[in-house]
Structure 1
């Protein structure tokens, strides 16, 4: 049986990688606080939060976390010993990933060290 033919549509989004430094080490170990910050930033950037999962590695180690969005995702990985966090934000549709980066950096009281943006996707087939 042949595959169904789908209507042409855009498959595109903006992928932002941000390196944030100068963050208080205690905050970079606080999985609950990081989850609240990322979920709030996603919503305020116009994204629909589907779920979130954050893991603290214990001791002096950091956190890794993901916020799953209808529009894609936000992830964070932290290194408290370096006062550093790496963000990965991919959003499609009308969501605004750069606003999410700005809000997260503000909430973390971080210096934004490096931001790289990649437009991803393909236009309608036809």
Structure 2
């Protein structure tokens, strides 16, 4: 079976609370995660909540990366969805986990757009 994309759902625990609450730093780390995975960044949008927490999205030609942080819990919920075969979503997740100084990460990969016959994915 062939899939159009790979979607990583990551639960990242034991993260540095200061990093998780710093919108600019989270944005920089997320963009760098996308680039290290081999993605082409298109747009970026991040928001800092009061009193704490950050949510954001990095739109890539191959799909997207998203994050929502809970600094008070040292936790981040992350999605990395990539289409095609040129980008490795695990590279993004592993880099991000490292940069958050996380103690533990669990993740699940979901194949998206599964077809029984070969599907040619155009380069975007």
Q: Is TM more than 0.5 here?
A: yes
Which residue of structure 1 lines up, in the alignment, with residue 43 of structure 2?
A: 51
Report how many aligned residue pairs link the two structures: 115
Higher radius of gyration, 1 or 2: 1
Give the unaligned 5+ runs of structure 1: 1-9
TM-score (norm 2): 0.87
Give the unaligned 5+ runs of structure 2: none
Which residue of structure 2 lines up, in the alignment, with residue 76 of structure 1?
A: 67
Distance 2:61 2:11 in 1: 24
TM-score (norm 1): 0.85
Which residue of structure 2 lines up, in the alignment, with residue 19 of structure 1?
A: 11
| Deviation (angstroms), 1:11 | 6.6
Assess if the C-alpha contact under 8 Å between 1:18 and 1:112 holds in 2. no
The CA RMSD over aligned residues, in Å, is 1.6
